[in-house]
Amino acid sequence: MTRSATTASAPSDSADAPSPVLTATDRTVIDGIVREYDQRERLLASGLHPTRTVLLSGPPGVGKSMTMRSIAARVGRPLILIEPTDVIGSLLGESARSLSAAFTAAREQGAVLGLDEIDALAKRRDDVYDVGEFKRFVSTLLVELDRWPDQAPLIAATNHLDLLDPALERRFEVHVRLGLPDEEARVRILRQLLSDLSLAPSSGTIDAIVAVTEGATGASLTGLVHRGARRAVLDDLPLDRALLTAAAPNGAQPDRRARARFAAAARDNGGLTTRAIGELLDCSHTAARRLAEAGAASV
Ligand SMILES: Nc1ncnc2c1ncn2[C@@H]1O[C@H](COP(=O)(O)OP(=O)(O)OP(=O)(O)O)[C@@H](O)[C@H]1O
Ligand SMILES: [Mg+2]
């Protein structure tokens, strides 16, 4: 299991892992787990143990892997990350062995074990590919999960909860379902990204981006900010204009209120003409002007 050893990160590295923006409920659950490890001795003295196994689920790009890294950093343990390609070999017998080796290495190091994309590791056993060797692999996984000690958490992530074997899902003591960020979370993600890049657009611009990014993930917001920032640097564009251009809905049709907020910010903060705004919003320049007026009036 050489790959897992190379993907292990020392506590000092992972101490820098950025924290994901989470809903208040999810944050409370994650903070609670970290606290249990901070005060593990107290729990043990009372015959209790910290949460051993955590399952993170949710659509792609909502911060499951980021959360995994952040938890490892916060409990001050190295992270051994197993991805499906690390263990699924052409010989399935080999896979079960390398999985066990990774678990052993993590146990010996007192590391957090991250099982990323666990659905790819363990599809439901009634899957058409349910052959003997594969069953053995899943059984190994189940046994290893049962044997996982309480010195550091084991964290698995999936964006296909429906594909998970129920026997596997049951093994997790805590299940955190990460969802798409709501408006407030999108503001916080954008502010965090911008401050990491030492960029400070006007708050009207952030507002407008938030308005037209309903359904976006943390990952897509990251892409948007980086795209806009690159344009600002390379094309020498004002930051607000570059970010708003990068946030243009592109075919998606946000509701009229969101389009109006976007049009007003594009005109007033981004200095874009109504013709340019019309192009970004896929409407005529007269419609863009009306939207900008409506947006400005609603602020
Ligand atoms: N909740 C969040 N808060 C802040 N940034 C986020 C959040 N979610 C995603 N991001 C940004 O998107 C990047 C990708 O997120 P991450 O890889 O953790 O998503 P994921 O849920 O594991 O996706 P996948 O299912 O595709 O593996 C992060 O490195 C971060 O920059
Ligand atoms: Mg991931």
Judgement on whether residues 96 and 224 belong to the same structural domain of the protein: no
Task: Give yes or no for residue 70 CB within 6 A of ligand 1.
Answer: no
CA of 186 relative to ligand 1 center, distance in Å: 13
Alpha carbons 296 and 257: distance in angstroms, whole number: 11
CATH number, domain of 129, equals: 3.40.50.300
- Domain containing residue 252: 183-298
Please report the pLDDT score of residue 166 as a whole number. Answer: 87
> DSSP assignment of 237-277, as one string?
--HHHHHHHHT--TT----HHHHHHHHHHHHHTS---HHHH
CA of 142 relative to ligand 1 center, distance in Å: 27
Per-residue CA distances from 78 to 15, 69, 110, 138, 264 (Å): 9, 9, 8, 25, 48
Task: Give yes or no for residue 222 CB within 6 A of ligand 1.
Answer: yes
Task: Give yes or no for residue 57 CB within 6 A of ligand 1.
Answer: no
pTM for the structure as a whole: 0.88
Alpha carbons 90 and 210: distance in angstroms, whole number: 45
Q: Residue holding tokens 């939207």?
A: 291
Judgement on whether residues 145 and 274 belong to the same structural domain of the protein: no
The single-letter code of the amino acid at 65 is: S
Residue pair 72/17 in contact by the 8 Å Cβ criterion: yes
Mutate to test the pocket of ligand 1, among 16, 22, 57, 66 (most ligand atoms within 8 A of CB): 66
Please report the pLDDT score of residue 11 as a whole number. Answer: 41
Judgement on whether residues 13 and 129 belong to the same structural domain of the protein: yes
Q: Which residues on adjacent β-strands are paired with residue 27?
A: none
Q: Is the dihedral of CA 22, 26, 31, 34 positive or negative?
A: negative
Judgement on whether residues 223 and 161 belong to the same structural domain of the protein: no
Task: Give the pLDDT of the chain (299 residues) as one tens digit per residue.
Answer: 333 433 444 443 445 788 999 999 999 999 999 999 999 999 999 999 999 999 999 999 999 999 999 999 999 999 999 887 777 665 656 777 888 889 999 999 999 999 998 988 766 555 545 567 677 778 888 999 999 999 999 999 999 998 888 888 999 999 999 999 999 999 999 999 999 999 999 999 999 999 999 999 999 999 999 999 999 999 999 999 999 999 998 777 889 999 999 999 999 999 999 999 999 999 999 999 999 999 999 87
Number of domains in the chain: 2
